Chains A and B, each alone.
Chain A
């Protein structure tokens, strides 16, 4: 399932982002492609949500792939070292293919 996020993921919006992802996981959606193409800003609060969701999925034999981070968001991923923890794909299409 492809989940698209957009706008700003900061300390104020991160809790709503987290509950959306938690809802999906609770409903049994265990293979997620998180489309970050529409995200213009993310801080460490947003990274923590992605990490927590990925850990929750791992515990249920699920998986989350990240797709299409742009500009400043890509830079945040690079500088955080997130790139070595997650599979990050250039586009949703390549992520979906990789998910199989």
Chain B
């Protein structure tokens, strides 16, 4: 079974968050991702989108493109942005033992991206950051 990806293009503006969430819910739902995993994926995507809008492309200066790739085993949600090169996976895991207020900004968002998906990949493609979030449609972890 081959399904074509769903895509959406938006400006890097926080007021598009609703559209981003609707896209994730629809595309993951159609792919058969269970509701509790969709909620986690929404969280991961929100954190990525907010980071793009707040830091990389502040004030809607750039473009963000989302694509959902449904498969039989996994669903991949891809987030592309035209911001400066930034690999969220380069952000170290936060030290959860130190007081919350002393932790570096943005660290928690990336922590959520890692923990609410089964696999995260990032690469640079021409002038785009490409972040791919994979969730397994059925239970269990995806091996890297």
Question: Which A positions have Cβ atoms within 8 angstroms of B?
Answer: 10-12, 41, 43-45, 47, 51, 55, 71-72, 75-76, 79-82, 84-85
Residues of A within 8 A of B67 (CB): none
Mark B104-134 against chain A: 1 for CB-CB distance below 8 A, else 0. 0000110110011000000000000000000
Q: Shortest distance in angstroms between A71's beta carbon and chain B's nearest beta carbon?
A: 7
Q: Shortest distance in angstroms between B139's beta carbon and chain A's nearest beta carbon?
A: 15
Q: Tell me whether B17 and A10 are in contact (CB under 8 A).
A: yes
Residues of B within 8 A of A43 (CB): 43, 46-47, 50, 109, 112
Q: Tell me whether A11 and B112 are in contact (CB under 8 A).
A: no
Q: Tell me whether A80 and B111 are in contact (CB under 8 A).
A: yes
Q: Tell me whether A76 and B43 are in contact (CB under 8 A).
A: yes
Size category of the binding interface on chain B: 20 to 34
Residues of A within 8 A of B112 (CB): 43-44, 76, 79-80
> Within the assembled complex, what's the spacing in Å between the Cα atoms of A81 and B97?
8
- Which one of A51, A55, A79 contacts B115 once the chains associate, using CB atoms below 8 Å? A79
> Within the assembled complex, what's the spacing in Å between the Cα atoms of A21 and B14?
22
Q: Tell me whether B15 and A12 are in contact (CB under 8 A).
A: yes
Please provide the 3 A-B residue pairs with the shortest distance between their CB atoms, ordered closest to farther.
Answer: A81-B96, A72-B39, A44-B108
Residues of B within 8 A of A72 (CB): 36, 39-40, 43
Residues of A within 8 A of B39 (CB): 41, 71-72
Q: Tell me whether B101 and A51 are in contact (CB under 8 A).
A: yes
What 13 new A-B contacts, CB under 8 Å, besides A80-B96, A85-B99?
Answer: A43-B47, A43-B109, A43-B112, A44-B50, A71-B36, A72-B36, A75-B40, A80-B100, A80-B111, A80-B112, A81-B100, A82-B100, A84-B96
> Within the assembled complex, what's the spacing in Å between the Cα atoms of A81 and B115?
12
- Which one of A11, A51, A75 contacts B100 once the chains associate, using CB atoms below 8 Å? A51
Nearest-neighbor residue (CB-CB) of B94 within chain A: A81
The residue among A11, A51, A55, A82 with the most chain B CB atoms within 10 A of its own CB is: A11
Q: Shortest distance in angstroms between A3's beta carbon and chain B's nearest beta carbon?
A: 20
> Within the assembled complex, what's the spacing in Å between the Cα atoms of A47 and B105?
12
Residues of A within 8 A of B101 (CB): 51, 55
A47-B36 CB under 8 A given contacts A11-B17, A11-B50, A12-B17: no
